[in-house]
């Protein structure tokens, strides 16, 4: 689900582009100068605006909804099998402590 519904979404477009070079390794030496001349440390920079976040969340919700509705359809399962093989190379998942214990996604 993560690969099909999240990874292969508009997140890829938001992830595309140049990554700044950091000599310290923690990006504390990187700043962005915006159109108003403000120097914003990379570690304090919002990398998504509200519209991008809204659009991303809508797309992910719609993809998760569609995935869950269609997962029992043989044709759909056949179409996602190649992605499932690729996802098998990912790290094994672990339980999220906050979600597992309280049911809250905000911890």
32-87: pLDDT as tens digits: 999 999 999 999 998 888 999 999 999 999 999 999 999 999 999 999 888 888 88
| Domain count within the chain | 1
Dihedral-angle region of residue 103 (phi above 0 means left; psi in -120 to 50 means alpha; beta otherwise): left
Is residue 104 a part of any domain in this protein?
Answer: no
Provide the pLDDT confidence category of residue 103 given band limits of 50, 70 and 90: low
Burial label, 6 (beta-carbon count in 10 A; 0-12, 13-18, 19+): middle
Is residue 57 a part of any domain in this protein?
Answer: yes
CA 26/CA 18 separation, integer angstroms: 16
Measured in whole angstroms, how far is the alpha carbon of residue 59 from the centre of its chain?
11
Is residue 72 a part of any domain in this protein?
Answer: yes
Rounded to two decimals, what is the model's pTM? Answer: 0.73
* Domain of 42, in residue numbers: 2-12+25-88
């Amino acid at each position: 689900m993560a690969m099909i519904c999240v990874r292969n979404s508009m997140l890829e477009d938001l992830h595309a582009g140049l990554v700044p070079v950091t000599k310290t390794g923690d990006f504390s030496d990187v700043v962005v100068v915006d159109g108003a001349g403000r120097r914003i440390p990379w570690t304090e920079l919002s990398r998504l605006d509200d519209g991008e976040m809204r659009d991303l969340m809508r797309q992910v919700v719609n993809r998760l909804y569609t995935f869950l509705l269609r997962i029992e359809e043989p044709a759909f399962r056949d179409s996602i099998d190649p992605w499932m093989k690729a996802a098998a190379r990912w790290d094994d998942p672990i339980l999220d402590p906050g979600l597992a214990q309280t049911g809250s996604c905000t911890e």
